[in-house]
Amino acid sequence: MKISNSFLYFFCLSISFNLDAQDWPDFNRYRQDNYQVGMPSEDENRIVFMGNSITEGWSVTYPEFFDGKPYINRGISGQTTPQMLVRFRADVIDLKPKAVVILAGTNDIAGNTGPSTVKMIADNIFSMAELAKEHNILVIISSVLPVYEYSWIERELDPVPIISRLNAIIKNYALKNGHTYLDYYSEMVDDRMGLMEQYTPDGVHANKDGYKLMSTIAEKAIKETLSKANIQ
Protein backbone atom coordinates (compact mmCIF):
# COMPACT_ATOMS: atom_id res chain seq x y z
CA MET A 1 0.00 0.00 0.00
CA LYS A 2 1.47 3.31 -1.11
CA ILE A 3 1.07 6.27 1.23
CA SER A 4 1.23 9.71 -0.34
CA ASN A 5 3.62 12.35 0.92
CA SER A 6 0.71 14.75 1.51
CA PHE A 7 -1.00 12.18 3.76
CA LEU A 8 2.17 11.73 5.78
CA TYR A 9 2.58 15.49 6.09
CA PHE A 10 -0.93 16.10 7.41
CA PHE A 11 -0.73 13.01 9.64
CA CYS A 12 2.48 14.28 11.29
CA LEU A 13 1.05 17.79 11.51
CA SER A 14 -2.02 16.40 13.26
CA ILE A 15 0.10 14.49 15.79
CA SER A 16 2.20 17.58 16.46
CA PHE A 17 -0.90 19.73 16.97
CA ASN A 18 -2.50 17.18 19.28
CA LEU A 19 0.65 16.89 21.38
CA ASP A 20 0.76 20.66 21.77
CA ALA A 21 -2.93 20.72 22.65
CA GLN A 22 -2.33 18.09 25.33
CA ASP A 23 0.28 20.18 27.17
CA TRP A 24 -2.34 21.04 29.78
CA PRO A 25 0.15 22.06 32.51
CA ASP A 26 2.16 24.04 29.89
CA PHE A 27 5.52 22.35 30.41
CA ASN A 28 6.76 24.09 27.28
CA ARG A 29 6.35 27.55 28.81
CA TYR A 30 9.57 27.32 30.82
CA ARG A 31 11.27 24.23 29.41
CA GLN A 32 14.08 26.14 27.68
CA ASP A 33 14.41 28.67 30.50
CA ASN A 34 14.79 25.87 33.04
CA TYR A 35 17.55 24.33 30.96
CA GLN A 36 19.39 27.64 30.64
CA VAL A 37 19.14 28.64 34.30
CA GLY A 38 21.11 25.57 35.36
CA MET A 39 21.89 24.50 38.90
CA PRO A 40 22.37 27.08 41.67
CA SER A 41 25.83 27.88 42.98
CA GLU A 42 26.71 26.62 46.45
CA ASP A 43 26.04 29.96 48.14
CA GLU A 44 23.04 30.97 46.02
CA ASN A 45 19.78 31.48 47.91
CA ARG A 46 17.61 30.66 44.92
CA ILE A 47 13.89 31.31 45.35
CA VAL A 48 11.24 30.12 42.88
CA PHE A 49 7.90 31.88 42.64
CA MET A 50 5.17 29.45 41.56
CA GLY A 51 1.84 30.92 40.53
CA ASN A 52 -0.58 32.24 37.96
CA SER A 53 -0.90 35.58 36.13
CA ILE A 54 -0.40 37.55 39.34
CA THR A 55 3.02 35.95 39.68
CA GLU A 56 3.84 36.05 35.96
CA GLY A 57 2.85 39.71 35.70
CA TRP A 58 5.16 40.63 38.56
CA SER A 59 8.25 40.40 36.33
CA VAL A 60 6.56 42.54 33.69
CA THR A 61 4.94 45.25 35.82
CA TYR A 62 7.58 45.50 38.54
CA PRO A 63 10.76 43.77 37.30
CA GLU A 64 12.86 45.68 39.82
CA PHE A 65 11.88 43.14 42.46
CA PHE A 66 13.61 40.34 40.53
CA ASP A 67 16.56 42.27 39.11
CA GLY A 68 19.90 41.26 40.61
CA LYS A 69 18.36 38.65 42.89
CA PRO A 70 18.39 34.84 42.66
CA TYR A 71 14.61 34.92 42.19
CA ILE A 72 13.00 32.84 39.44
CA ASN A 73 9.46 33.57 38.25
CA ARG A 74 7.48 30.51 37.21
CA GLY A 75 4.01 32.00 37.02
CA ILE A 76 1.70 31.11 34.13
CA SER A 77 -1.35 33.22 33.36
CA GLY A 78 -4.72 31.56 33.89
CA GLN A 79 -3.39 28.48 35.67
CA THR A 80 -5.13 26.62 38.45
CA THR A 81 -3.62 24.55 41.27
CA PRO A 82 -3.88 21.15 39.52
CA GLN A 83 -1.89 22.50 36.58
CA MET A 84 0.74 23.93 38.92
CA LEU A 85 0.93 20.65 40.80
CA VAL A 86 1.61 18.71 37.60
CA ARG A 87 4.48 21.01 36.57
CA PHE A 88 5.83 21.50 40.10
CA ARG A 89 8.71 19.07 39.65
CA ALA A 90 9.86 20.57 36.35
CA ASP A 91 9.44 24.22 37.32
CA VAL A 92 10.39 24.11 41.01
CA ILE A 93 11.99 20.91 42.34
CA ASP A 94 14.40 20.40 39.43
CA LEU A 95 15.70 23.97 39.85
CA LYS A 96 16.82 23.10 43.40
CA PRO A 97 15.86 26.36 45.12
CA LYS A 98 16.32 27.10 48.81
CA ALA A 99 12.64 28.08 49.00
CA VAL A 100 9.46 28.25 46.95
CA VAL A 101 6.79 30.95 47.18
CA ILE A 102 3.41 29.51 46.19
CA LEU A 103 0.64 31.92 45.19
CA ALA A 104 -2.34 29.99 43.88
CA GLY A 105 -6.07 29.45 44.08
CA THR A 106 -7.84 32.47 42.61
CA ASN A 107 -8.28 30.91 39.16
CA ASP A 108 -9.64 27.73 40.74
CA ILE A 109 -12.31 29.83 42.47
CA ALA A 110 -13.05 31.54 39.15
CA GLY A 111 -13.46 28.08 37.58
CA ASN A 112 -10.80 28.38 34.88
CA THR A 113 -10.40 24.60 34.57
CA GLY A 114 -13.79 23.58 35.89
CA PRO A 115 -15.53 23.57 39.27
CA SER A 116 -13.32 23.27 42.36
CA THR A 117 -14.16 23.00 46.03
CA VAL A 118 -12.12 24.76 48.69
CA LYS A 119 -10.84 21.36 49.79
CA MET A 120 -9.69 20.50 46.27
CA ILE A 121 -7.78 23.79 46.00
CA ALA A 122 -6.23 23.45 49.44
CA ASP A 123 -5.24 19.82 48.83
CA ASN A 124 -3.37 20.79 45.67
CA ILE A 125 -1.51 23.55 47.50
CA PHE A 126 -0.70 21.17 50.34
CA SER A 127 0.59 18.60 47.85
CA MET A 128 2.96 21.17 46.36
CA ALA A 129 4.16 22.05 49.85
CA GLU A 130 4.72 18.39 50.71
CA LEU A 131 6.67 17.78 47.51
CA ALA A 132 8.86 20.77 48.29
CA LYS A 133 9.46 19.67 51.86
CA GLU A 134 10.38 16.17 50.69
CA HIS A 135 13.10 17.73 48.54
CA ASN A 136 14.44 20.01 51.30
CA ILE A 137 12.89 23.14 49.83
CA LEU A 138 11.55 25.68 52.32
CA VAL A 139 7.89 26.50 51.79
CA ILE A 140 6.25 29.91 51.76
CA ILE A 141 2.50 29.73 51.10
CA SER A 142 0.81 32.97 50.08
CA SER A 143 -2.70 34.04 50.86
CA VAL A 144 -5.05 34.44 47.93
CA LEU A 145 -5.43 38.13 47.12
CA PRO A 146 -8.84 39.62 47.92
CA VAL A 147 -11.38 39.68 45.08
CA TYR A 148 -14.87 41.18 45.25
CA GLU A 149 -15.86 39.91 41.81
CA TYR A 150 -14.34 38.32 38.71
CA SER A 151 -15.41 40.66 35.91
CA TRP A 152 -15.08 37.99 33.20
CA ILE A 153 -17.45 35.53 34.88
CA GLU A 154 -21.10 35.68 33.83
CA ARG A 155 -22.45 33.14 36.30
CA GLU A 156 -23.34 34.15 39.84
CA LEU A 157 -20.32 33.81 42.13
CA ASP A 158 -19.40 35.46 45.42
CA PRO A 159 -15.66 34.88 45.89
CA VAL A 160 -15.41 36.83 49.16
CA PRO A 161 -16.36 34.04 51.60
CA ILE A 162 -14.54 31.41 49.53
CA ILE A 163 -11.28 33.33 49.59
CA SER A 164 -11.64 34.05 53.29
CA ARG A 165 -12.23 30.37 54.06
CA LEU A 166 -9.39 29.18 51.82
CA ASN A 167 -6.93 31.63 53.36
CA ALA A 168 -7.86 30.48 56.86
CA ILE A 169 -7.22 26.86 55.86
CA ILE A 170 -3.92 27.74 54.16
CA LYS A 171 -2.72 29.75 57.15
CA ASN A 172 -3.60 26.99 59.60
CA TYR A 173 -1.81 24.39 57.47
CA ALA A 174 1.30 26.54 57.06
CA LEU A 175 1.66 27.27 60.76
CA LYS A 176 0.91 23.69 61.76
CA ASN A 177 3.57 22.31 59.41
CA GLY A 178 6.34 24.80 60.08
CA HIS A 179 5.93 26.70 56.81
CA THR A 180 5.72 30.45 56.33
CA TYR A 181 2.33 32.03 55.69
CA LEU A 182 2.75 35.07 53.43
CA ASP A 183 -0.21 37.35 54.10
CA TYR A 184 -0.89 39.71 51.19
CA TYR A 185 -4.62 39.66 51.91
CA SER A 186 -4.63 41.63 55.16
CA GLU A 187 -2.57 44.44 53.64
CA MET A 188 -4.58 44.74 50.42
CA VAL A 189 -8.23 44.18 51.36
CA ASP A 190 -10.77 47.03 51.27
CA ASP A 191 -14.07 47.61 53.08
CA ARG A 192 -15.95 45.42 50.56
CA MET A 193 -13.47 42.60 51.13
CA GLY A 194 -12.13 43.18 47.65
CA LEU A 195 -8.74 44.37 46.42
CA MET A 196 -7.96 48.01 47.28
CA GLU A 197 -8.48 50.21 44.23
CA GLN A 198 -5.02 51.78 44.44
CA TYR A 199 -3.40 48.36 44.05
CA THR A 200 -5.28 46.94 41.06
CA PRO A 201 -6.35 47.76 37.48
CA ASP A 202 -9.25 45.30 37.46
CA GLY A 203 -10.05 44.09 40.98
CA VAL A 204 -8.09 40.85 40.56
CA HIS A 205 -4.55 41.57 39.37
CA ALA A 206 -1.95 43.89 40.86
CA ASN A 207 -0.71 47.15 39.36
CA LYS A 208 2.75 48.58 39.99
CA ASP A 209 1.83 49.95 43.42
CA GLY A 210 0.30 46.59 44.27
CA TYR A 211 3.46 44.77 43.29
CA LYS A 212 5.60 47.22 45.25
CA LEU A 213 3.61 46.39 48.38
CA MET A 214 3.68 42.67 47.62
CA SER A 215 7.45 42.86 47.10
CA THR A 216 7.95 44.36 50.55
CA ILE A 217 5.78 41.71 52.17
CA ALA A 218 7.39 38.87 50.20
CA GLU A 219 10.94 40.04 50.87
CA LYS A 220 10.27 40.09 54.60
CA ALA A 221 8.78 36.58 54.50
CA ILE A 222 11.74 35.24 52.49
CA LYS A 223 14.30 36.72 54.89
CA GLU A 224 12.45 35.35 57.92
CA THR A 225 12.14 31.91 56.32
CA LEU A 226 15.83 31.68 55.41
CA SER A 227 16.87 33.04 58.81
CA LYS A 228 14.71 30.49 60.63
CA ALA A 229 16.50 27.76 58.68
CA ASN A 230 19.91 29.33 59.52
CA ILE A 231 20.54 30.20 55.87
CA GLN A 232 22.49 33.42 55.37
Could you give the CA distance from residue 193 to residue 201 in angstroms, rounded to a whole number? 16
Cα distances from 167 to residues 19, 21, 27, 69, 119, in angstroms, run: 36, 33, 28, 28, 12
Would residue 23 count as lying in a domain?
A: no
Range of the domain at 203: 44-228
pTM for the full model? Answer: 0.89
Point out the residues of the chain with pLDDT beneath 50: 1, 3, 5-20
* Count of the separate structural domains present in the chain: 1
Scored b (16 or more CB within 10 A) or e, 8-41 reads: eeeeeeeeeeeeeeeeebbeebbeeebeeeeeee
Question: Is the CB of residue 188 less than 8 Å from the CB of residue 145?
Answer: yes
Is residue 16 domain-resident?
no
Q: Does 21 reside within a domain?
A: no
8 assigned to some structural domain? no
Considering the domain boundaries, does residue 32 fall inside one? no
The predicted pLDDT at position 155 comes to 81
Q: Going by C-beta distance under 8 Å and a sequence separation of 6 or more, which residues neighbour residue 232?
A: 226
- Per-residue confidence (pLDDT) for residue 9, from 0 to 100: 40
User: What is residue 21's predicted lDDT score, i.e. its pLDDT?
Assistant: 57
Which pLDDT value is given to residue 153?
A: 86
Residues in the chain: 232
Give the CA distances from residue 40 to residues 43, 87, 94, in Å, rounded to whole numbers and listed in that order: 8, 20, 11
Cβ 106 vs Cβ 54: under 8 Å: yes
- Residue 35, domain member (yes or no): no
The CATH number covering residue 166 comes to: 3.40.50.1110
Query: Are the C-beta atoms of 148 and 160 separated by less than 8 Å?
Result: yes
**Whether 204 contacts 150, CB under 8 Å:** yes
Classify residue 31: in a domain, yes or no: no
pLDDT recorded at residue 12: 41
What is the C-alpha radius of gyration for the chain, rounded to an integer number of angstroms?
A: 19
Domain membership flag for residue 131: yes
For residue range 151-191, list pLDDT tens digits in order. Answer: 888 788 999 999 999 999 999 999 999 999 999 999 999 99
CA neighbor of 179 nearest in space, from 124, 122, 132: 132
Beta strands in 26-168 (DSSP E): 47-51, 71-75, 99-103, 138-142
CA dist 98 → 25, 90, 102, 232 (Å) = 24, 15, 13, 11
